[in-house]
A and B are shown apart, each in its own frame.
Chain A
């Protein structure tokens, strides 16, 4: 990707993440829609032999030969039996029955995690720069488990099964489903087995924000990644005949609109269809839109298709009005077009209604960098609380996921529309799918520096060093509200890879700890066996508590309107830095909640030394849906080990 390595502090830091063999021995497995291996992002120049630990293969298939793998793309497999069993044979006129990516998504995520350095990367001139994956010297193995956008559970499990056999170090899954219990969630089950083998599993949190309780991939042995913006924008300016101007976004790269103002029409007024405002194919009346700029509402069909519908009907340009909060996502439209936020869209509609001859024009601002504030939590990023275990805060962390440039398939246009015959080496898209491989790549970097760290230790380092404020001290904002985001949206905060290398202390978790966690959930022996593949009977004489899982964050769920309650958490810190004495500091804006940490000071004299502490949260009754947020920080004066606190009443 361009810009995000700089935004994350990864550029020009060979002192932290050097180009050593250790870094190039890390293998990232990407379960997705496959790979377009010819992209320069998968050039293997300068890479040494494939790591000896690697046991995978490069499978041949339609339009894909085993010779397409190299020292960067070291493995490629595909899993279609589940898809074909349900939907019939793969339609080979539409996609290749092989690891080849006919969708674009898999090439994008794989290159984001570990793509090689490519100079002069851009989408039609937008986001121009040097593109690279986060772990640009790590190796990539792709497991194609998604076909025409659908990913069948049996294929996902088969892909994870093979990835474990193949000896990947990190697994990246930018996909998800409904809110399953862990014993019926293929991703959670596969991730448990991977975790046991020391494989860090990073998954996307989902794009169902800003709704609460909208998270996917909530198992505590998964690192769940939400999405934020970076300091880059692609402005497009909508000017109205009444003199008002609005800022939107666009990747339009064709001829500009004619100079001067053009007639402006609301799609709903240029259609006989009840849903004419959505610019669905065949719903616009050409005589009413010809030569005009058409305002289309969001919903039902994809944004780029709305532009194509306007263009097909003879429209000159399109304004896309988001109907889902303030979030703005740009597209490489086929006609001059810009996306504006919901409030701005409403203003433009008011103008159209009030003026007998409304007019407008759109100007395109190219690529703007250094945009502040950044990051901002993306409106679409899924939010907690955790629907399965409210005591585990999810998502864990956020990373860049808005307008991310990365490699793209040669089989599909940048808009994904079949009518769009353009082909691009790089595309810019948004989603938690894009933030997940950023974290996967960063996890690979940490694995290279600290090969002995467990998946939980890597996640802990990422979480406890994440940031939640801007340099000026202001709290990270939420695109959906324009107000400060909360841990239910950003988890521990925005990832800071350089700080994560040296966290001082980590909250480590092993497989046995997760068994105790499953006992705390009162899972039956069969349910535990499904997840863990072992006979394990919870000790009936033992008191298990979800709050004892050694998680870096604290999600405290109080019952509402039941009087004062106390909930106790226990945690264990492991020293991964120099000897030192750490003191705790608790920050909580609500003084009615009492937080007691015992002990308040811990001293470490050896590496890997473990010291436990407890936290008691005592709170009065509050109305349902009340939330209070804070943090618990341990510091030795050098390191800051921060755990977010989210207290809710329900």
Chain B
């Protein structure tokens, strides 16, 4: 079960982006790669949040939470038409 990947939305504190990055998407990518080489990024968001959506194992999600600049790693939620 720990190896099963799920989708998470990762919220980042953009103010904490290291100066070595000139583009936030590179920072997001580096943060993701720091916990998993195989993690897949699904979306990078520009307006609604500072962050991205990615496929992660539960272990990777827990590890990502401890990385600098991470505000939250939230599992995806499913909505329904009304």
Using CB atoms and an 8 Å cutoff, list the residues of chain A in contact with chain B.
32-33, 81-82, 85-86, 103, 105, 146, 149-154, 156-158, 160-161, 164-165, 174-178, 180, 183-187, 189-190, 193-194, 197, 204-207, 216, 431-433, 436, 526, 529-530, 533, 535
Contacts and interface: CB of A to CB of B under 8 A. Distances in A.
A164 B49 CA distance: 12
Interface string B2-14: 0000110101011
Contact of B43 (A105, A157, A197): A157
Nearest to A208: B82
18 contacts: A33-B81, A86-B6, A146-B79, A146-B81, A152-B79, A153-B77, A154-B7, A154-B76, A157-B53, A175-B80, A176-B79, A185-B77, A186-B9, A189-B49, A432-B82, A529-B11, A529-B13, A535-B13
A151 B80 CA distance: 6
B39 to A, nearest CB: 12
A164 B43 CA distance: 16
Interface string B50-62: 1001010000000
A149 B78 CA distance: 10
Given A32-B81, A86-B7, A177-B77, A158 B47 contact: no
A197 B55 CA distance: 30
B7 A433 contact: no
Given A190-B49, A204-B82, 17 more contacts: A85-B42, A105-B81, A146-B79, A149-B81, A151-B78, A154-B9, A154-B42, A157-B9, A164-B48, A175-B79, A176-B82, A185-B77, A193-B47, A216-B82, A526-B13, A530-B71, A530-B72
Contact of B72 (A185, A205, A526): A526
A14 B82 CA distance: 32
B7 A152 contact: yes
B77 A184 contact: yes
Contacts of A206: 82
A529 B48 CA distance: 12
B1 to A, nearest CB: 16
Closest 10 CB pairs of A and B: A154-B53, A204-B82, A433-B82, A164-B47, A151-B79, A190-B48, A153-B77, A177-B79, A193-B48, A530-B11
A525 to B, nearest CB: 9
Given A152-B7, A154-B7, A161 B48 contact: yes
A522 to B, nearest CB: 17
A431 B9 contact: no
A184 B74 contact: yes
B46 interface: yes
A174 B79 CA distance: 10
Contacts of B42: 81-82, 85, 154
Query: Main SS of the interface on chain B?
Result: strand
B46 A161 contact: yes
Nearest to B15: A535
Contact of B48 (A150, A175, A189, A216): A189
Contacts of B78: 150-153, 177
B72 A533 contact: no
Contacts of A150: 78-80
Residue among A82, A105, A175 with most chain B CB within 10 A? A82
A204 B82 CA distance: 7
A605 B40 CA distance: 59
B45 interface: yes
Contacts, number: 124
B79 A153 contact: yes
A161 B52 CA distance: 11
Interface of B: 6-7, 9, 11, 13-15, 40, 42-43, 45-50, 53, 55, 71-72, 74, 76-82
A161 B47 CA distance: 5
Nearest to A191: B48
Nearest to A382: B82
Contacts of B82: 174-176, 204-207, 216, 431-433, 436
A158 B45 contact: yes
Nearest to A206: B82
B82 to A, nearest CB: 4
A433 B53 contact: no
B48 A160 contact: yes
B48 A151 contact: no
A175 B47 CA distance: 21
Which of B9, B42, B43, B82 has the most A CB atoms < 10 Å from its CB? B82
B16 to A, nearest CB: 9
A464 B9 CA distance: 37
A193 B11 CA distance: 14
Nearest to B46: A161
Given A86-B6, A105-B81, A161-B48, A183 B40 contact: no
Nearest to A81: B42
A540 B41 CA distance: 38
Nearest to B40: A85
B11 A151 contact: no
A183 B72 CA distance: 10
Interface core residue of A86, A164, A204 (most chain B CB under 10 Å): A86
Contacts of A156: 79
Contacts of A177: 77-80
A154 B49 CA distance: 11
Contacts of B47: 160-161, 164-165, 193, 197
Contacts of B80: 149-151, 175-177
B21 to A, nearest CB: 17
B49 A533 contact: yes
Given A176-B82, A530-B11, A86 B76 contact: yes
A164 B74 CA distance: 23
B45 A161 contact: yes
A431 B82 CA distance: 6
A184 B49 CA distance: 12
Nearest to B6: A86
A153 B9 contact: yes
Contacts of A153: 9, 76-79
Nearest to A203: B82
Contacts of A184: 72, 74, 77
Contacts of A149: 80-81
A526 B46 contact: no
Most interface-central of A85, A174, A176, A206 (chain B CB within 10 A): A85
Nearest to A183: B72
Contact of A175 (B13, B55, B81): B81
B79 to A, nearest CB: 4
Nearest to B5: A85
A85 B55 contact: yes
Nearest to B76: A153
Contacts of B48: 157, 160-161, 164, 189-190, 193-194
